[in-house]
Chains A and B, each alone.
Chain A
Amino acid sequence: MNKKIDVKKHILVPKYQKLSDKEKEELLQKYNVTTSELPRILKSDPMLAGVGAKPGDVMQITRNSSTAGRNVFYRVVVNG
């Protein structure tokens, strides 16, 4: 029982993916925003463990949605 549980593999946890610099640029362009206007995720978030995300990186979160079926969400990594 003392084996560490990997939260990333839990069935209820959505898929997280780091965006490349190019993809990030495209995203910011698309919504006409800077990273300060994006929703945030703390660098200490368990989902970022081992991803090697730096502040300023953007994570793409793909999750199931009751209205749309599948929904894509973005969060910018911040210190904390």
Chain B
Amino acid sequence: MDEEEKPEAIAEETELEEAKAPDAALEVKAEKKELIEPEHPIYKQVSELTFGMLSPMMIKKMASAKIVTPELYDKEGYPVDGGLMDIRLGVIDPGLRCKTCGSKLKECVGHFGYIALARPIIHLNFVPIILTHLRCTCRECGRILIAQDKIDKYGEKLKQFGMEKGEEQMRKKVKEIISKAGGKCPHCKAKQFKITVEKPTTIFEDDKRISPIEIRTRLEKITDSDVELFGLNPKATRPEWMVLTVMPIPPVTMRPSITLETGERSEDDLTHKLGDIVRINQRLFENINAGAPEIIVEDLWDLLQYHITTFFDNEVAQLPPARHRSGQPLKTLTERIKSKEGRIRHNLVGKRTNFSARTVISPDPMLDINEVGVPEIMALKLTVPERVTEWNMAHLKKFIERGPKKYPGANYIIRPDGKKKKLTEETIEQALEELQPGYVVERHLMDGDIAIFNRQPSLHRMSMMCHRVSVLPYKTLRLNPAVCFPYNADFDGDEMNLHIPQTEEAIAEAEILMLVQKQLISPRYGLSVIGCVQDAISGNYILTQKSFAMKREEAIDLLAQVGITEPSRLPRKETVTGKEIFSALLPEDFSYSGRSKSSEEPDVIIESGKLISGVMDKNNLGEGSGLLLRNIHKKYGEQVAVEFIGKVFRLGIETLMRRGFTTTVSDTDLPEKTDSEIKRLLEASRLEVEELIKSYKDGTLEAFPGRKLRETLELKIMEVLNRARNEAGIVVAKSADRSSHTMIMALSGARGTTINLAQMSATVGQQALRAKRIEKGYKYRTLSCFERNDMGPEAHGFIKNCFKKGLAPAEFFFQAMVGRDSLMDTALRTPKSGYLYRRLANAMQDLRVEYDLTVRDASKRIIQFMYGEDGIDVSKSEAGKINVKRIISEVTGE
């Protein structure tokens, strides 16, 4: 984030003041609107912003106290007038009133003070700019070291350049022009000397030190028109203001002292540092007035410079950091703001949420798809505010009676004046008595409440969906496995977050916009993002196969388990088929035709709520595939669609539960005939490769266009070996028992492929490293067990064994090579692509589709004349298309 969003052309002044400079400020020029009636808040309209530095005048003007003494409190413990805790600077003690604005603690935001410095001090953060000014202006006359005619000629161009590339670049350009000009002032012909710095704040001219007083007078001499050439606006920023003569004292409210248990007061780090500054400043004053020797004055001056520098930044490389007595460095202004623990990243960007929870997730298919299981321990802490009315008072009183420890109780009551009262054993009694309409009771989370559920990375709008709460025992958050897909969650230790909306508006909004069923259709491809997974697919596949049948009573029991208690949709027969059971879930007037994965019954036909042919597999029930779920959603609405998915899911699982489902090693056993066929196949391809190598050596091999002979050979060998693996796969798939559980998973699309099966039972095949055969290792060979220059399949990572038989040592090593490579690849690619996606999402975040279907950005510029070039809202389409045929048939005839 930080690196990516650095706007190019911020004014130098802005950049500096944002982080570091307390004496740089922004002035708001306000246009006064006509007087408004006193009851209404008086407001000003911002017409213009000017960025600049605080002038000494401004510092004095905004100060409400001049600080003259380092003492904090007098003997009575009352703040000293003119001290650093002066009550004109704001209140931090309860009961006191601010002398400046008259308001109490928390109401008064605090007021600045100032100290007049005995001698000018260089501001640490402006050293580079001060240097530029000194080097580029004449030491005698103060003019910029560019001849007048050149200024007239290039001045405007330079300013234009500054507007485009930023002040930093503009100053560089000025320096360039001057370095060409040579060592004399073109205006008064005075000789110029080299100016150097000894970090952090000591400046030398020709090896003689120049004091801040001298520097300040030089900066004062620069004319306003020359200042502009340095990219500063002389009205808001005079260069001499970069050398401090007065310093603002921050209000006490930003450096409050804390009272320890012993009654001792402990001051803030900033107050400590300011105390040092004021003390040394006073001593410097006294010494100057007493006419002390110059060495003493200069020593004190340097000390003051050190204290002021560390007040701004205590981590300056060349300076020893100022420390507490305990030796721990003080945290001054810069340290407060920057880095991960600083104000910006810790407090502003990294805000924390109340009424939220996070733990490990686990699956529970008996929950509805739009439910989330919340552990009771969480439900005791997470609360929902409920407003007391005449009608629900008795109801809410019961919650208060049960108190904070007994579920479902209440943790707090809020009085109409906003006062929050914690419920404890002792306060329950009193709370019950005072409760009346207008109070708010924060009762425990209960079944049916609304919660927003989220898993990071939230790349999607489906990464945050609204669920209904179901309070459950144990300690994990639970969700229906069907919603894993949109969250991209699994249960290998994933954690998820839960948020409980706290106002009626927030609850309504979450419910209307974010509920799971509202998010069903993906705006990316227009299909359901929620469908059956894994066992649910296997189960439905088995259920809807032709051969499946069960007794009617059993079927009724099965359906009851799924949630259908009304068995009238089952045909009145002794035994019913699986398809008939499945049909009981379908809406009664639903018709559909589609295709399934399987080659046995490829056509899926549903007529008026009856599955006539076809098996249910991943193509129809899976997430993001097939129009079955999409059409149900379209015709019957989201409620029916989620309920349907939930029921189908449970039906699949329940079927498997009753039937039994497992996978065994014997699923990978091959008949003898197949085994020998695969052997023959591998032998044939080995010979083919040998033949190729021979022709390569003979010189009879012909090169592919644009390829070297060696490359051609490699390509041809790769092709032969890959073909061998694929053919082995086909042979295995053909011979395998289609009713074995491993095959059922592969055929239904629930898990695994026939290639996985072939790798287990026939041959693992060629291992490829970056789309090539393995070539790394020793000189002229991959491993020392091969001969040099062996181009055969075995020597370059072809694994002819299968996983069941076991791999040869060399084969195992090749497999490990490729395995490690792909592991590293995914580990490195994930963050890279994540960052790429983030940048893309941020760049496009304010594009929107207008009513005229154009896509425009925030400034209403046209990006696309027709959204997606076809103007289709994908989330309202069927897989990105409009099915005109279906619409016509529906409108005309049905």
Please give the residue numbers on chain A whose beta carbons come within 8 Å of chain B beta carbons, in ascending order: 31-33, 36-39, 65, 67-68, 71-74
Chain A residues closer than 8 Å to B854, beta-carbon distance: 31
Chain A residues closer than 8 Å to B852, beta-carbon distance: 31-32
**Can you list 10 A-B contacts with CB-CB less than 8 angstroms, sorted by A residue number?**
A32-B852, A33-B860, A36-B861, A37-B856, A37-B859, A37-B861, A67-B872, A68-B869, A71-B866, A73-B865
A37-B862 contact, Cβ under 8 Å, with A31-B852, A31-B854: yes
Please give the residue numbers on chain B whose beta carbons come within 8 Å of chain A beta carbons, in ascending order: 852, 854, 856, 859-863, 865-866, 868-872, 880
> B639 → chain A, closest Cβ, in Å?
31
> When the two chains form the complex, which single residue of A32, A36, A39, A65 contacts B869, counting CB atoms closer than 8 Å?
A65
> B867 → chain A, closest Cβ, in Å?
10
Chain B residues closer than 8 Å to A31, beta-carbon distance: 852, 854, 862, 865
A65 CA to B880 CA in the complex, in Å? Answer: 14
> B62 → chain A, closest Cβ, in Å?
41
B869:A67 contact, CB within 8 angstroms? yes
Chain B residues closer than 8 Å to A73, beta-carbon distance: 865
A39:B870 contact, CB within 8 angstroms? no
- Chain B, Cβ-Cβ closest to A33: B862
Chain A residues closer than 8 Å to B859, beta-carbon distance: 37
A68:B866 contact, CB within 8 angstroms? yes
> A70 → chain B, closest Cβ, in Å?
9
Chain B residues closer than 8 Å to A74, beta-carbon distance: 865
Chain B residues closer than 8 Å to A68, beta-carbon distance: 866, 868-871
- Chain A, Cβ-Cβ closest to B880: A67
Closest 6 CB pairs of A and B: A68-B870, A68-B869, A67-B870, A65-B869, A71-B869, A37-B861
- Chain A, Cβ-Cβ closest to B871: A68
A56 CA to B860 CA in the complex, in Å? Answer: 19
A38 CA to B865 CA in the complex, in Å? Answer: 9
> A64 → chain B, closest Cβ, in Å?
10
A41 CA to B416 CA in the complex, in Å? Answer: 62
Chain A residues closer than 8 Å to B863, beta-carbon distance: 39
A31 CA to B853 CA in the complex, in Å? Answer: 10
- Chain B, Cβ-Cβ closest to A70: B869
> A24 → chain B, closest Cβ, in Å?
14
A31 CA to B866 CA in the complex, in Å? Answer: 11
Chain A residues closer than 8 Å to B872, beta-carbon distance: 67
> A77 → chain B, closest Cβ, in Å?
15
Chain A residues closer than 8 Å to B880, beta-carbon distance: 67
- Chain A, Cβ-Cβ closest to B863: A39
B865:A67 contact, CB within 8 angstroms? no
Chain A residues closer than 8 Å to B862, beta-carbon distance: 31, 33, 37-39
**Chain B binding surface SS class:** loop
- Chain A, Cβ-Cβ closest to B864: A73
- Chain A, Cβ-Cβ closest to B874: A67
Chain B residues closer than 8 Å to A65, beta-carbon distance: 869-870
Chain A residues closer than 8 Å to B866, beta-carbon distance: 68, 71
A68 CA to B852 CA in the complex, in Å? Answer: 17
A33 CA to B850 CA in the complex, in Å? Answer: 13
* Besides A65-B869, A67-B872, A68-B870, 12 new A-B residue pairs in contact (Cβ under 8 A), listed by A number: A31-B852, A31-B854, A31-B865, A33-B860, A36-B861, A37-B861, A38-B861, A38-B862, A39-B863, A68-B868, A72-B865, A73-B865
Residue among B859, B866, B871, B872 facing the most chain A CB atoms (10 A cut-off): B866
Chain B residues closer than 8 Å to A37, beta-carbon distance: 856, 859-862
- Chain B, Cβ-Cβ closest to A74: B865
- Chain A, Cβ-Cβ closest to B860: A37
A38 CA to B871 CA in the complex, in Å? Answer: 18
A74 CA to B862 CA in the complex, in Å? Answer: 10
- Chain A, Cβ-Cβ closest to B870: A68
Chain B residues closer than 8 Å to A39, beta-carbon distance: 861-863
Chain A residues closer than 8 Å to B869, beta-carbon distance: 65, 67-68, 71
A39 CA to B866 CA in the complex, in Å? Answer: 13
> B93 → chain A, closest Cβ, in Å?
58
- Chain B, Cβ-Cβ closest to A64: B869
> A20 → chain B, closest Cβ, in Å?
18
> A28 → chain B, closest Cβ, in Å?
11
Chain B residues closer than 8 Å to A38, beta-carbon distance: 861-862
A14 CA to B865 CA in the complex, in Å? Answer: 16
A73 CA to B872 CA in the complex, in Å? Answer: 17
- Chain B, Cβ-Cβ closest to A40: B861
Chain B residues closer than 8 Å to A32, beta-carbon distance: 852
> A78 → chain B, closest Cβ, in Å?
13
- Chain B, Cβ-Cβ closest to A38: B862
Residue among B861, B869, B880 facing the most chain A CB atoms (10 A cut-off): B869
A36 CA to B862 CA in the complex, in Å? Answer: 9
A38 CA to B868 CA in the complex, in Å? Answer: 17
> B875 → chain A, closest Cβ, in Å?
15
Chain A residues closer than 8 Å to B860, beta-carbon distance: 33, 37
Chain A residues closer than 8 Å to B868, beta-carbon distance: 67-68
- Chain B, Cβ-Cβ closest to A32: B852
Residue among A36, A67, A68 facing the most chain B CB atoms (10 A cut-off): A67
A33 CA to B865 CA in the complex, in Å? Answer: 12
Residue among B859, B865, B871, B872 facing the most chain A CB atoms (10 A cut-off): B865
A74 CA to B866 CA in the complex, in Å? Answer: 11
A31 CA to B871 CA in the complex, in Å? Answer: 15
> B851 → chain A, closest Cβ, in Å?
11
A21 CA to B871 CA in the complex, in Å? Answer: 27
> B853 → chain A, closest Cβ, in Å?
10
- Chain A, Cβ-Cβ closest to B861: A37
- Chain B, Cβ-Cβ closest to A30: B852
> A73 → chain B, closest Cβ, in Å?
6
A37 CA to B859 CA in the complex, in Å? Answer: 8
> B879 → chain A, closest Cβ, in Å?
12
> B852 → chain A, closest Cβ, in Å?
7
- Chain A, Cβ-Cβ closest to B852: A31
A72 CA to B856 CA in the complex, in Å? Answer: 16
A71 CA to B872 CA in the complex, in Å? Answer: 14
> B526 → chain A, closest Cβ, in Å?
12
> A26 → chain B, closest Cβ, in Å?
14
> B376 → chain A, closest Cβ, in Å?
50
- Chain B, Cβ-Cβ closest to A66: B869
Chain A residues closer than 8 Å to B871, beta-carbon distance: 68
A6 CA to B106 CA in the complex, in Å? Answer: 74
Chain A residues closer than 8 Å to B861, beta-carbon distance: 36-39
- Chain B, Cβ-Cβ closest to A72: B865
- Chain B, Cβ-Cβ closest to A39: B862
A73 CA to B859 CA in the complex, in Å? Answer: 19
A72 CA to B860 CA in the complex, in Å? Answer: 19
> A76 → chain B, closest Cβ, in Å?
10
A38 CA to B861 CA in the complex, in Å? Answer: 6
A31 CA to B880 CA in the complex, in Å? Answer: 25
Chain B residues closer than 8 Å to A72, beta-carbon distance: 865
> A19 → chain B, closest Cβ, in Å?
13
Chain A residues closer than 8 Å to B865, beta-carbon distance: 31, 72-74
- Chain B, Cβ-Cβ closest to A67: B870
> A46 → chain B, closest Cβ, in Å?
23
Chain B residues closer than 8 Å to A33, beta-carbon distance: 860, 862
A68 CA to B865 CA in the complex, in Å? Answer: 12
Chain A residues closer than 8 Å to B870, beta-carbon distance: 65, 67-68
A37 CA to B880 CA in the complex, in Å? Answer: 29
A8 CA to B870 CA in the complex, in Å? Answer: 26
- Chain B, Cβ-Cβ closest to A63: B869
> A5 → chain B, closest Cβ, in Å?
21
> B876 → chain A, closest Cβ, in Å?
15
Chain B residues closer than 8 Å to A36, beta-carbon distance: 861
- Chain B, Cβ-Cβ closest to A69: B870
A65 CA to B871 CA in the complex, in Å? Answer: 12
> A33 → chain B, closest Cβ, in Å?
6
- Chain A, Cβ-Cβ closest to B854: A31
> A71 → chain B, closest Cβ, in Å?
4
> A14 → chain B, closest Cβ, in Å?
13
A31 CA to B852 CA in the complex, in Å? Answer: 8
> B560 → chain A, closest Cβ, in Å?
47
A36 CA to B866 CA in the complex, in Å? Answer: 18
A67 CA to B877 CA in the complex, in Å? Answer: 13
A76 CA to B863 CA in the complex, in Å? Answer: 13
